[in-house]
């Protein structure tokens, strides 16, 4: 974008080529209390920046970050970080010194001001939360949900995974996700361990799953499911009396506009097991983005922010919790909703 503006300015001035950029001025390094939150005020013509670290305020200096861009439209130094030093290269309790230089095609700026930071953040292992025991039957499998928190050290990357080391075969749909499903080849008791690893330290917790004999027919696939597409013709309409904007199906197949509180469409949908699914919703927001709700099995309304679309509409995926077998899903204008939305179909999926 900068080059486009400069080219246009040169052409308006009758010049064939742009004048070279001046070398950038020195950036201003912000004070910080953490070597993992280094920020600066950039130079006006700086293309990229190098960060240097030293053990004393006079050097010698080592480049620890190269070619860093600060091209962010809205920058908040309270929550955003331009540079994080490498935890593995720092010693706890030591003081380090940093400076930064700006670069462009004409050269490099003088170094910025120097700041000092004492490294006092000791890496802690991730904290894992997991239910200690679950019960299911062989035909149902089980939904596994673990959660974890980490201090962001040595980096923001945390690897997670499920394991089973005992007798009997366990199948995980996604062993590398905190939330997944597992199914079992035989009844019994299984110890399933979830681990969160930050690269230096790890934490694990184990859930004991008691699996009973099959109580029904097992699904063909315990991990993936694509249900029937339910159009508005398969739904049951509840239409509130109104002099205008009555709930109706248009020639394009979309039901709307849900202008009156109480307008809704209800479907009976099937789920192969109890747990988390995704609801593929085909909708039309041709009258602008609106906030409306789904209700699953008579529960609390689940508010969804629908974006504006063209008249062709689009699909949105919404997480829902369903029980094995038949479920009722309502869409409409409930208390607090905006209405004026159009819907064509829903589909229950798991992937």
pLDDT, tens digit (0-9, with 9 covering 90-100), for 147-199: 999 999 999 999 999 999 877 789 999 999 999 999 999 999 999 999 999 99
d(CA 148, CA 258): 40
Do strands 275-284 and 290-296 pair parallel, antiparallel, or not at all (unpaired)? unpaired
Q: Do domains 2-118 and 133-212 have the same CATH topology?
A: yes
pLDDT value of position 74: 64
The answer, yes or no, to whether residue 1 has pLDDT greater than 50, is: no
d(CA 54, CA 94): 11
Q: Domain 2-118 falls in which CATH fold? A: Immunoglobulin-like (2.60.40)
Please check whether residue 147 is in contact with residue 128, taking contact to mean a CB–CB distance below 8 angstroms.
yes
d(CA 233, CA 235): 5
- Quote the Cα angle for 110-112-118, to 5°: 145
| pTM for the predicted model, two decimal places | 0.80
Distances in Å between the alpha carbon of 269 and those of 27, 50, 84, 323, 326?
60, 57, 49, 10, 6
- Quote the Cα angle for 283-288-290, to 5°: 70
Distance from the Cα of residue 310 to its chain's centroid: 26
d(CA 202, CA 65): 27
pLDDT in tens, 324-336: 999 999 999 999 9
What would the two tokens of residue 271 be? Answer: 């789920």
What would the two tokens of residue 19 be? Answer: 């004048």
Separation of first and last alpha carbons in the chain: 40
pLDDT in tens, 31-83: 999 999 999 998 988 999 999 999 999 999 999 999 998 776 566 767 789 99
Ordered by start, the domain boundaries in the chain are 2-118, 133-212, 225-350
pLDDT value of position 70: 77
pLDDT in tens, 265-301: 999 999 999 999 999 999 999 999 999 999 999 999 9
Q: What is the CATH number that goes with domain 133-212? A: 2.60.40.10
Tally of CB atoms within 10 A around 51: 23
pLDDT value of position 242: 85
The alpha-carbon radius of gyration of the chain (Å, integer) is: 29
Question: What residues have CB less than 8 Å from 141, skipping those under 6 apart?
Answer: 181, 182, 183, 184, 222, 273
Distance from the Cα of residue 337 to its chain's centroid: 25
- Whose CA is closest to 140, among 216, 224, 191, 208? 216
Map residue 4 onto helix, strand or coil: helix
The answer, yes or no, to whether residue 16 has pLDDT greater than 80, is: no
- Whose CA is closest to 190, among 162, 215, 222? 162
Please check whether residue 255 is in contact with residue 233, taking contact to mean a CB–CB distance below 8 angstroms.
no
pLDDT value of position 133: 98
Between 213 and 243, residue with greater pLDDT: 213
pLDDT in tens, 81-107: 999 999 999 999 999 999 999 999 999
d(CA 335, CA 343): 19
- Quote the Cα angle for 328-333-334, to 5°: 75
Q: Domain 225-350 falls in which CATH fold? A: Jelly Rolls (2.60.120)
């Amino acid at each position: 974008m900068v080059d486009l503006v400069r080219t246009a300015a040169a052409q308006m001035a009758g010049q064939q080529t742009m004048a070279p950029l001046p070398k950038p001025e020195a950036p201003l390094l912000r004070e910080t209390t953490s070597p993992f939150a280094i920020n600066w005020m950039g130079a006006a013509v700086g293309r990229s920046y190098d960060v240097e670290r030293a053990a004393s305020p006079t050097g010698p200096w080592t480049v620890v970050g190269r070619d860093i861009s600060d091209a962010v439209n809205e920058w908040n130094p309270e929550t955003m970080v331009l540079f994080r030093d490498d935890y593995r290269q720092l010693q706890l309790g030591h003081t380090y010194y940093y400076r930064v230089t700006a670069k462009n095609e004409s050269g490099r700026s003088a170094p910025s001001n120097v700041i000092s930071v004492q490294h006092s953040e000791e890496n802690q292992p991730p904290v894992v939360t997991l239910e200690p025991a679950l019960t299911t039957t062989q035909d149902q499998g089980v939904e596994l949900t673990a959660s974890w928190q980490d201090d962001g050290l040595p980096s923001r990357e945390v690897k997670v995974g499920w394991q089973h080391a005992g007798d009997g075969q366990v199948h995980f749909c996604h062993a590398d996700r905190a939330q997944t499903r597992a199914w079992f080849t035989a009844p019994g008791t299984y110890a399933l361990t979830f681990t969160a690893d930050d690269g230096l330290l790890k934490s694990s917790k184990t859930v004991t799953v008691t699996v009973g004999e099959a109580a029904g027919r097992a699904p063909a696939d315990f991990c993936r499911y694509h249900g029937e597409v339910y159009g508005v013709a398969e739904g049951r309409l509840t239409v509130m009396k109104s002099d205008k904007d009555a709930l109706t199906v248009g020639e394009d197949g979309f039901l709307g506009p849900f202008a009156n509180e109480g307008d809704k469409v209800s479907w009976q949908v099937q789920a192969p097991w109890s747990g988390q699914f995704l609801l593929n919703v085909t909708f039309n927001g041709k009258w602008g983005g609106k906030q409306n709700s789904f209700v699953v099995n008579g529960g609390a309304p689940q508010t969804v922010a629908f974006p504006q679309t063209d008249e062709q509409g689009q699909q949105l995926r919404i997480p829902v919790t369903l029980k094995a077998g038949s479920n009722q899903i309502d869409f409409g204008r409930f208390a607090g909703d905006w209405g004026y939305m159009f819907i064509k179909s829903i589909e229950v999926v798991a992937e």
